Structure 1
Amino acid sequence: MDLMHQEIQLSLDQYSRLEKLHLHFNLPEQAIICTLCGYALATDDDRVGRHLGEKHHIPKGARRKLNALINSLQLPSPETLPKRPDGSAPHPHLQIQEGKACRHCGLRSTSLTILSRHVRTLHKRDIAATRSSGKHWLRDHIVDNLAFQSWTLKDIKRAWTITPPRASTQRSKKSDNRLLQPVPDPIQRLADQLLHEERTRSELHSATLNRPTDGDVLSTQALLTNWMRRTGWDRTFEGADYQILISLSSLPMPSSQPLYLGMHRGGHELSSSATDENRLLSIVAALDRLFDQCGETVRFTDVSVRRWLRSRFTDRPYKAPFELVSQSNSERIYRNEFKRCICFWLRVWRLPRAISRSVTGRIFTTHQRRMLEELWLDSCWTPCDNDDENAENAYAGSALWLRQENLSSEAGQEEEEEEEEEEEGEEEEDVDDDDDGSEFSKSEDTASDALYGEGLSDEEYGSDNQWYRVSESRNGGQGELQPGSHRVPSRETDNSCDPSVDAVLRFCYEMVTEHFEDGRASSALLVYFSAVRGLSRQEGNEYLRPARYTPILSRLIYCTRLIFLEAILPLRAHTYAGFAVRPRYGQLAALNAVRVDQMCDGTMSPLGEFLSLLAYGMTLQRSEGPAWHFDWSEDGQTISWDGDTRLSMGQFRSLAHEAFRQATENLPGQGNNRLDKWKALTIAKSSWANPDSYISGKRDGRT
């Protein structure tokens, strides 16, 4: 290398000419650096001259014979230059870019979003391990305010860290507002130690005080909000591990790796084996098929029966019949609640008993354990081609839930952020409702508008005057049902019975009809799971307010009613689970025989508890504050809400441009000229703003 440096000799005139053109000949790394751009240029052919002319508009006369001089040096490509060691002094002619690095693996990036996603995805165990020391922020795992330099433009992969210049005159305007440098690790450890000692001293001081009396306990309960006193979540989750509860309720994902659940107390890593997750995928798929059959049962059920199905009173039906949701996306969100519930309890049941009690703060009853065993160990989940092998896996006692050593592979994929749906509307008040029930009727209408919709189109099912269509596979090859036809799918039990669907229906029906133990609603599986869905954030350190929790209750109520109808009045028999086909006569009496004790408000059943919570939550919504709180950034350019949801002013301004573009493109009969489209849009706007102009335009045939 030294020999090559000695061979390249430039005269003072050549150095002077390069400096006049804002070029620097770098040594010992041989490169031509553009001092205006701050990176090395490729020197092959005429690229240096073209860069000066196109980028910096230097006249051609000043660039004459420059390319010949550069090519005679035979410089290597900037991409092959060795990067300097980290911590080097800053190069005076290279651009300084600010960036960040992962504290665990050293990954570098200029984007905080990319690094945050990297830490959440690949360093879940490191995040869980540091929570015990009081570090709950992602920024604790990211080294911030690093300065990088590289030979090429924004090449963060081949960049090196530099020591920032001390002189204030060399700082850019952007760096004047930079945050403070991160605390060195030794100082941070000392601060953590002092904090731990202070907390220990405070706990010892508190232990010497008198124990609280009954009056103190009552005063603590009085500080709770009305919503927390009604739900009783503080008693339900007493001693529970909130973060593990949220992980247990996640939907299964197809993967060959175990699902990492989190770090339990005492340093125990909990995970769900890949075999168990595959079994859960099969159960969830069977639940989808069950809800498909439930939808078909609803479509072939009379309006009078569906009115009683939707009613919360024992003595009168509801004013509108029970309807299916109109949007497929909403149907998927509603089904996910029962999917999460089944996966949650099966994962808890697969835990060792001591661990499951420590995680949930409760134990299974004999009946609940039998329900879960019947579902999990049912022979319908065993494939026919490898019966013996899967049977051994199904009855194995250990599922690799508890492991002391670190996992050798990455945990399952991060659960996709849950999509919240909350559409509100109003229906006309029913004149037949009594004063006792009119108030809740309005509340239930508001919460149920998102469930059933205000009206259904001709393409949807559920109305007596609609075209009922079923596929040939479900109709025994009879084709379509014409309007006005009273033919229904065959009531005979054929060999289309699905044992897996029947097994899931049997479990769901036992779950929705479960009795409360010792009068406690949280003892039921479905009610306890609904409380888990009330935990907010990934750590579970907050609870949902009524405005955000009532949509979850509405989804659970919707799915529970589907299960009741399919178990009591099924369109086709479920012989594997012991549910006979609906009778030809007396269907309403068969429904009310179960509905009075299990499906009405005030009953000690999961659905009765959900209806009561929904009514109370809808009442509190009117008196409490907004469901979302908005925060502006310091520069006033970004607004954030719901944790990580953000909207910048640039994105907001682009909405108007996009709306204008779509409006001008969709104007009929106009030219391609932008001026013509603008005139047409102006005429349309004046017509919308002036009713008289709109009416006259309609008479003239312009609209």
Structure 2
Amino acid sequence: MSPRPLTVAETRHLASLGLFVNEPEPVLICRPCGYALKPFGERVGRHLAEKHNVSKSERRGLNALVASIGLGDPNDVPLRPDGVLQHDALAVVHGYACLHCNFRTTSSDLVSRHLLKIHKWKDSRKSDGWQRNRVHSNVPLQSWSQNGMRGYWIVRTNTPMLAQPTYVDIRDPPTDASTTQRRALLAAAHNSERTLLGACPSSTITTATDSTADLALTTNWMRRTGWAEMFNGARRDLLVWMSQIPSPTASASYHFPLGSEDEATIAKSSSEDEKRLQYLLGAVDDLFDTCEDTIRHTDNSMRCWLRSQDPHRPYKAPFELVGRRATSQAYRRTVKMLLCFCVRLWRLPLGVRLSHCRKSLTVTQSRAIDTLWSDNVWADVDMDTSGRPVMEEDSDEEDETATDNESDSDDEPGEDLDKLLSLQQNTNNTNFEDRPTADQDNFGPVLGNNPPENAVQDLILQLLYFLFTEEYEGGRSGSTLLVYFCGVLGISPDGTVFQRPKNYTKHLSALIYCARLIIMEVLLPWKSHPYAGYPARPRRGQLDRLNEVRREKMCLGSQAPLGELISLRAYGRALSMSDGPSFRVNWSDDGKILRWDEHRLSMAQFRSLADDVLQRSDSAVDDLMYGWNPGCDLSKVRDRMANTSQGYSFVSEPANNLHEAYLNLSQQVSLANLDGLLSANGWVQHKVRRYLESSDTLLKLLLLLVYLTGGQAARGTELMSVEHQNVSSTSRGIYVYSGTMVIVTRHHKSRHATNNEFQVARFLPAAVGRLLYLYLVYIRPFSRMLCRVCLGADNTDSSVLFRPLLRPTDHWGTEKLSKELSRRATHLFGFTLSVRTYRQISIAITEKHIKQIRRPFNRLQDKGPDAPIESALAWQSGHRPLQRATTYGLDGAYPDSLQPALLQVYKWASGEWHDFLQLKSSTLEPPHSHPRQHNPSSQWSMIQRKTNPAQARGTR
């Protein structure tokens, strides 16, 4: 049965009501609803009235019209085949299609029932695969009926159907009752996760166990340290908190939440404890000042034994104090953290200590800390002072007299020292207690009710000596407080991860250094410590006393903390070589832009830094010279580099006639009509001070300028040690060589360890050399004259170049250079640039753009195909090139270590850097690139084979 044709008026009438007569399937489709209607009786009219609110007048005659067309029942109309284009009048729904048959549905429950009933597949834990692997999901479907009761077919939409299974978008799932419940459960789970993520990450990470028995999952570093087992189940963030140094401004109690608001579950350090800790830390500095003074009064031979790790032999070099103040402060800070950690751990309630720190204290450890904390000396200490203890009675002179007398005492240690050593040798008691009373221990002072001024220092010394020499409990190094604290130092500040050896071994070096100071202060102090019972060093038998403790407590493999620290540091240093550099850069494809971290720097910007500092320095010099330009021809300046007499420099060289040149500048500046420093009534003080301040400002610019333009960036400590004239013990670092200003640095950070000088010459560009020449010849001497005449300064002048004239005793550190560099970088680039970062960047640029520096060069090597033919000249004299260059035929006009050949190499290297910065300098060809047309390779190889038969056999 086919429907009759409709007239145009009938088609328009049905379309106005949202109805469509389909062909070739004879069904009537409601476009708004997207499915076919049954054409029997009054169903069509009732549907429009109930679903779409169509008025009765609009529906008049509709049912008769539908009946006259001859439409069929949608349930009897066959389905369309899969893959046809979608019907524009039918709704498109997304559902599921079975991979094994023609079953289609929009219900996930019906899919599960179909797979179980027809294909015998059950969704369970032991099922073979997932349900989504047996059906297509998110498939576009259409049907004649409203709910697809008679089935669906797959249609093609504007987006092609994927061949692989697709998945329903979880952002717009079906809104049935089941889905609503699932969404509510999922929302609750998400809220719980967001709460967890919003909390401190370490609260969840650090409580989980990190130990594993799988060797493949344990790095060599973690296997060696044993930290995973040591801190298994411990709150690592709490351990880090306990090692923090209290703030000097903190007055309230210091607390750490353990995850609950209950006061019983919060670790606290009271305000009284924090004040006492602050006082202790101030006394630590005084104690280490005393220890360093003891080292200064100790002979080299004894310090070689102190540094040795071998039980029977001294070390080849003596133990030395660190040269930099910043290093000393960093080492002392580590000891202060140790004291804070031990006291706070001891003050924790026993339950918190065991449950959150996983650490017990032995009776000996508790007594040692209690001796410091509960001593009667605290009754006489004024806690409001932040530095040295303030006693009721001042007895400086009496203590000095007692110290001098006790320097002649017997060779045997004091009574309390014997008690301390005997107590440490009897730590086999495995009983643990929270806080033993003071009358149970053998620690403490040997004096009565008259504590000396340095009593607190003596108590700290006694505790530190115990920590550094504590014997292992049960043969385990982790049983000692010091080794356990070293593990805490290996935890990151947030407590989440452990440090790699590259960032960790510095802490071990600090503790090893401080341990040697403390042990030396206890065994052989320069001045006695009467409150602790440590007498001053005896006249004889000092080595025996030192070795008695050193062999058992300070050597590699000893059953004391120092043995473990020395071993772990050596292992960490070897392992750190495989970690790679901590600073990495990336280059753009054209090599013109360098990137690191979140910063980027073009080569044009990099060059602009030196150019900007050069312009500012030139302007500052012009201002201080008051526009006067006396001229500068360095090619005519004579400088006897081998002259090491005190006070000599090219300025004082008689042939140059420059020693009084600054008086001409004095005349120009003092008698100037505008801004003259001298008036009819005398010197204008505010102008003089402004001139001196401008001179110091220029010195900062020159420091930065030399750093940027002298070649490869030097360390800050190297530039800060440059002297402009000879002194009694050292040679100057500024020379004029071959018409160029040269900066020579001899300081090196490993000089104390290697006992070797490492001399580096940095040739300055012509413009920079001119500014430094004007400063040394005119501005600096005139500024010194103003200090003497106007400010009453003495006649002494610091030989160090980069030191302020107004405060010659102040020592500029690397932070001064870094501050000036950051200021200029922020102005030009918009971000700060430290000295360390600039050194890394300059080296990266050198490796990328200055190719020739990569080429090997060794002028003293006479083996190999690239050896210079000049080696034959050394052979004729019966020497190897190295022996000849260092012993014979030295030019007396130059220092032995800076002969012309080496200076030419440095000049070429500096010139390559000047060319990259586009600064004018007299560059040289690379010293290894001389022509060899007179040295045929065949003849040279023949000569080498004759002089080195073994090498000839290897090449054959």
Greater Rg over alpha carbons, structure: 2
Bigger relative contact order, structure 1 or 2, given CA contacts below 8 A and separation 6+? Answer: 1
**TM-score when scaled to structure 1?**
0.49
User: TM-score, normalization: structure 2?
Assistant: 0.37
